[in-house]
């Protein structure tokens, strides 16, 4: 059974700082998805990465997929309070079901 | 822009009571699913449906029933609530089984 481990579990930083959060898998990723979940809401898809070494950018967010397709990172530049939320990674298994990490809870203090 | 609508948003039950969590989507999505989210754990799939009349079990189906009589609706039934079912429940839908999922805002359920 595939396990996704996200680190750190919790991160609190000041506005304007940079940060990186990680998602590591016990087996090769199939189709890795990153979501952001704000308090009281459901997860919202940010990006899907499939190819080893792939880098995708979404404004101040940079998503990187490891060459071996067992790790991924999300880097936020100049964090803003609006970036606060729970960041989740998920991979699709062979039955097209999503396997989820427990998430990184991010707080950006103004 | 309704998307995926879940009702109720909050519910408190006593052990042994039954209830139905409602989920409706207006995007004509074939695939719908139910997850539960517990602190420190990833979302876990309870049941899913690939189309009207078709349902299947996910990772944690015990204690829950579902049905899919229409494309739009996918209710989740708790047959006899237990404290272990205290959780936040999310419904999601997508065009197909391998397509990005759209989530509702969740139902926060407490079982006393």
CB contact under 8 Å between B43 and A43, yes or no, is: yes
CB contact under 8 Å between B105 and A43, yes or no, is: no
8 A C-beta contact, residue B62 and residue B76 = no
Question: What pLDDT is stored for residue A26 in this prediction?
Answer: 92
pLDDT tens digits, one per residue of B74-99: 999 999 999 999 999 999 999 988 88
pLDDT, chain A, mean: 94
Question: What pLDDT is stored for residue B1 in this prediction?
Answer: 64
Question: What pLDDT is stored for residue A93 in this prediction?
Answer: 85
Interstrand relation of A10-14 and A104-109 (parallel, antiparallel or unpaired)? parallel
| Confidence category of residue B41, pLDDT binned at 50, 70, 90 | confident
8 A C-beta contact, residue B84 and residue A21 = no
CB contact under 8 Å between A40 and B90, yes or no, is: no
Residues of chain A neighbouring B48 (CB-CB closer than 8 A): 97
């Amino acid at each position: 059974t595939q396990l996704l481990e996200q680190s750190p579990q919790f991160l609190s930083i000041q506005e304007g700082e940079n940060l990186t959060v990680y998602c590591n898998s016990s087996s090769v990723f199939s189709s890795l998805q990153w979501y952001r979940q704000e308090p009281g809401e459901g997860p919202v898809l940010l990006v899907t990465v499939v190819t080893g070494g792939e880098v995708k950018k979404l404004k101040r967010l940079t998503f990187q997929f490891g060459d071996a397709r067992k790790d991924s990172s999300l880097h936020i530049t100049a964090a803003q309070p609006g970036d606060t939320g729970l960041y989740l990674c998920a991979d699709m298994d062979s039955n097209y079901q999503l396997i989820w990490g427990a998430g990184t809870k991010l707080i950006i203090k103004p | 822009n309704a998307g995926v609508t879940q009702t109720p948003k909050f519910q408190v039950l006593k052990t042994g009571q039954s209830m139905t969590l409602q989920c409706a989507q207006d995007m004509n999505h074939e695939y719908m699913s139910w997850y539960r989210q517990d602190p420190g754990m990833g979302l876990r799939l309870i049941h899913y449906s690939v189309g009207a009349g078709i349902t299947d079990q996910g990772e944690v189906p015990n204690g829950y029933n579902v049905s899919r009589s229409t494309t739009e609706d996918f209710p989740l039934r708790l047959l006899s609530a237990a404290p272990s079912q205290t959780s936040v429940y999310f419904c999601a839908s997508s065009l197909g089984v391998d397509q990005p999922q759209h989530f509702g805002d969740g139902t926060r359920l407490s079982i006393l």
